[in-house]
Copies of this chain bind each other. A is one copy, B any other.
C-alpha cells in the first residue's frame, strides 16, 4: 500500500510520506542533461519518453514516496487555441494575451484530449516503470492561475491586469473560469485514465486575491473542477499560495490542501476538518546550510497533525538548491536524524 495515498486518506502511516514540488527538473544535474538532449523545454514536455525519464530521475535518486508527471500547467491550453512560448530567460509567455470578454468568449473548449495525449502517454510510461508503492500524481493549473496567465500574457508580479479585468467584467470572468474548470477536469480525467493515482491542482497565484474575492470568483470554479472527478476515487490535492486563503478552501471537494510556506500547518489542519494537509517548508530554507535546513524541517514537523500529513515544500524547489539540502530535509522527515 502506498504511504502517500494512505496519508491523503488520513489513515495511519509509519512516517510522513514525502515528495517535493518541482522535484523533476531544475536543480538536478541529470535533469539538465536530458533537457539539453531534448533541445527545448516544450519538446521535453511533449516527448513522452523524455518526460517519463525526468519524472523518474528524482525518485531514483531520493526514493520519494510520490512522483509527479513532468509537464507544465500551460500545456492543455494549446488545444484550446492559446499559443505560448517558454523562452530560455524569464517565465512563459502567452503570444496573444486574452485581455477581455471578447477574447475569453473565443476560447475554444478542447475536443477529445488529442492535444494532450503526449501527457497521457508519459504517465503510462512512468506508471510502468515506477516502484509499485510509489504514487504517481497528475496535475493541472487552477482556473484563476490559468486566467492570470491568459489575461496578463505571462507571469505577472502583481496580477493587476487580471484583478482589474475580473472587477470590470465579473459575469464574463465567471464564465471564463467555468470554461477553464471544465477543460481542466477533462484533462485530469485523462491523466487518471492513463495511470495517475492522485491529482494536484495548482492555484499558484491565489495569493493576489482577498478572501472575499477568492470565495466569490475562484472557489466556485475550483468546486466545479473537483466535482468533475467525484466518481474517480483518487485523492484530489489543491495547492493554494498565500497564508490567508486556507479557510476559504474548507468546503471544497478535495482530500488534501497543499500549503505555501506562509501558512501554519497546525492552524490550517484545524481550519480544514476532514482534510489532510501537505507542505510547507520555505524553499528558501534549502539555500541555507544543512544544519539550518534540519532545524527548519524539525520546526515544521512540530506543527503537523497526527494523521493526514504529506511532507513537502511550501512552493516549488528553487533551481539553485544544493543536493545536500534535499538530503538533509529528507533525513529529518524520515526520522534518520
Contact = CB atoms under 8 A, between A and B. Distances in A.
Interface of A: 157, 160-161, 163-164, 167-168, 207-213, 242-244, 261-264, 282-285, 287-289, 292, 296, 318
Contacts of A283: 160
A26 B284 CA distance: 34
B262 A167 contact: no
A212 B264 contact: yes
Residue of A212, A213, A244, A263 most packed against chain B (CB within 10 A): A244
A159 to B, nearest CB: 8
Contact of A284 (B164, B207, B242, B285): B164
Contacts of A207: 207, 242, 262
A209 B284 contact: no
B243 A284 contact: no
Contact of A167 (B167, B168, B264, B288): B288
A263 B210 contact: yes
Contacts of A209: 262
The 7 A-B pairs of least Cβ separation, nearest first, read A243-B244, A163-B284, A164-B287, A168-B288, A164-B284, A244-B244, A210-B262
A292 B173 CA distance: 14
B264 A210 contact: yes
- Number of copies of this kind of chain in the complex: 2
Given A263-B210, A318-B160, A284 B167 contact: yes
A178 to B, nearest CB: 21
A86 B216 CA distance: 39
Given A262-B211, A264-B211, A292 B157 contact: no
Given A160-B318, A242-B242, A242-B244, A261 B167 contact: no
Nearest to A244: B243
Given A160-B287, A264-B210, A264-B212, A167 B296 contact: yes
A207 B244 CA distance: 10
A70 to B, nearest CB: 22
A151 to B, nearest CB: 11
B244 A167 contact: no
Given A210-B261, A264-B211, A282 B242 contact: no
Contacts of A244: 242-244, 262-263
B167 A282 contact: yes
Contacts of A242: 207, 242-244, 262
Nearest to A159: B284
Contacts of A157: 157
Contacts of A289: 168
Contact of A287 (B168, B285, B296): B168
A243 B167 contact: no
Contacts of A212: 264
A164 B281 CA distance: 12
A210 B246 CA distance: 13
Nearest to A286: B164
Contacts of A282: 163, 167, 210, 213
Contacts of A284: 160-161, 163-164, 167
